[in-house]
Amino acid sequence: MCTFARNLEQGIFKLFIMTLNTLRAVLFLVFSVAVTNFGFASQDNEDQDKGFNAKEMIMHHVKDAHEFHIVDWDNKPISIPLPIILFTDNGLTTFMSSEFHHDDSGTHIVEKNGERFVKYHEKIYQLESGVDTLTFDEELHPTNAKLPLDFSITKNVFMMWVSVLVILLIFISAASKYKKSNNFMPRGIASFVEPLVVFIRDEVAIPMIGEKKYRRYMPFLLSVFFFIWVNNIFGLIPILNGANVSGNIAFTVSLAFFTFIITSFSGNKNYWKHIFWMPGVPVPMKIFLMPIEIVGMFVKPISLTIRLFANITAGHIIILSLMSLIFIFESVAIAPVSVGFSLFILIIEIVVTAIQAYIFTVLSALYIGTATEEEHH
Amino acid sequence: MTITGIAAIGAGIAVIGAGMGIGKIGESAMNAMARQPEIQGKLQTSALILAAFVEAVALFGVVASLIV
């Protein structure tokens, strides 16, 4: 019996090694084919530069947009139009983004209430009267048009509403489950939500903020955690075109701003004393530390902003770059490698969605915790 | 060399630094966990937070190279 098991083990091991070797050979073959193909392709394409532009494609997918672009069919884009809300000198102007006819190069002019608008690189410009084309100076400021205040329901705003709706649905149904049961046993969706809420309470709020004061900050921490997490997950769904909500710096700035406001307003005497007049050090050191501590106060929310924004954007860029390898090499042989790697990165990204939401929550709790800490010396 | 090339090299250097930093955190966390398995949860939390701090530095590099 024992020898049989050992033989089986050895057999499996040999099989494993063999598979690995074959895999390596296949990978090598694929890469060499791809590289030679690339060599030929680049020779062919030297004089015609109207090929596939990976950077443009990636930036188009990572940036916010005024319409929900789904797919290109027969060189015609299929997209869901979203409302455009502009505030110009003459007041409010609204129309649907379909009136631009998918134009993003600033050539299609939309006329509303005597004002003329063009869309150029996902920015809407208001043309001056009698002008037909946009011109820019060296610093890329428009010379014959101005930027109206843009309150449009863009792709990101729309996806944010969807995620708010999803969160509301989950939590309202979980709450109603608790209301119905008489012994507060979690059932249905509540049994999915409860461990997460308990995790945030026991692993984040209580250790970071303290047993006495954590209750006040739980609603904020939970909202931030679930909002970021759901938005991160929505960003990874390809059919929604990866609406990159949490990879938008405006979104992360506003969340970090909330943390900053809450930290500052809940800061007690002890916290402010540590910033402006550090106790326990000599006077020259107190004066030296003051600017550093003041800068540190603002650096905390800035680092929160950049961390979430850059993490999510970097993930999207990596996946899209791996996918665009197929089109850069112009070969089908590279497709399995590129799909395999991007699947691998996608799985890592699924973990990252939760980790980044957790990190944001933990750091917010940590900052709030330092602001509400009592004097203990 | 163009400015984009220099930015890319800068991002690469930032990644090297962050990689070494995160590796050091992981090494120490694993050592500590092996020595004291009973506080594994606490160690994991602080290791993750420290990794996030180190990673932020690398991401500043990435953002700088995106802006350039």
Instruction: Report whether pLDDT(A69) > 90.
Output: no
Cα separation, A71 vs A96, whole angstroms: 19
**Alpha carbon of A123: minimum distance to chain B alpha carbons (Å):** 18
Span A282-332, pLDDT tens digits: 999 999 999 999 999 999 999 899 889 988 888 888 888 888 888 888 888
Domain containing B45 equals 3-12+20-67
Instruction: Give chain B's domain count.
Output: 1
Is B52 or A277 the better-scoring residue by pLDDT?
Answer: A277
Flag if B41 and A366 touch (Cβ within 8 Å).
no
Averaged pLDDT, A353-369: 92
Find the chain A residues whose C-beta atoms sit closer than 8 A to any C-beta of B: 203, 207, 303, 306-307, 309-311, 313-314, 355, 358-359, 362-363, 366
Instruction: Return the residue in A59, A318, A359 with the most chain B beta carbons within 10 A, the one to mutate for interface testing.
Output: A359
Is A249 or A106 the better-scoring residue by pLDDT?
Answer: A249
* CA atoms within 13 A of residue B13's CA, in its CB half-sphere: 8
Which one of B52, B62, B63 has the shortest CB-CB distance to A359? B52
Span B20-29, pLDDT tens digits: 999 999 999 9
Q: Please, what is the average pLDDT of chain A? A: 81
| Residue A21 CB partners (closer than 8 Å, separation 6+) | none
**Alpha carbon of A306: minimum distance to chain B alpha carbons (Å):** 7
Q: Please, what is the average pLDDT of chain B? A: 84
Span A341-360, pLDDT tens digits: 989 888 888 888 998 999 99
Q: How confident is the model at residue A377 (pLDDT cuts 50, 70, 90)?
A: low
Tell if the pTM clears 0.90, that is, is over it: no
Instruction: Report whether pLDDT(A87) > 70.
Output: yes
Of the candidates A137, A171, A136, A208, which has an alpha carbon nearest to the alpha carbon of residue A360? Answer: A208
**Alpha carbon of B60: minimum distance to chain A alpha carbons (Å):** 7
The per-residue pLDDT for A284 is 92
The per-residue pLDDT for A97 is 83
User: Strands of A91-96's sheet, edge to edge?
Assistant: A91-96, A83-88, A149-150
Span A14-53, pLDDT tens digits: 545 544 554 554 444 444 444 444 444 444 444 345 577 8
Flag if B48 and A355 touch (Cβ within 8 Å).
yes
Can you tell me the ipTM of this complex?
A: 0.73
Q: What is the CATH number of the domain that holds B48?
A: 1.20.20.10
Instruction: Return the residue in A206, A302, A306 with the most chain B beta carbons within 10 A, the one to mutate for interface testing.
Output: A306
Flag if A307 and B41 touch (Cβ within 8 Å).
no
Q: Kindly state the tokens that stand for A26.
A: 């296949």
Interface size, chain A vs chain B, as Cβ–Cβ contacts under 8 Å: 33
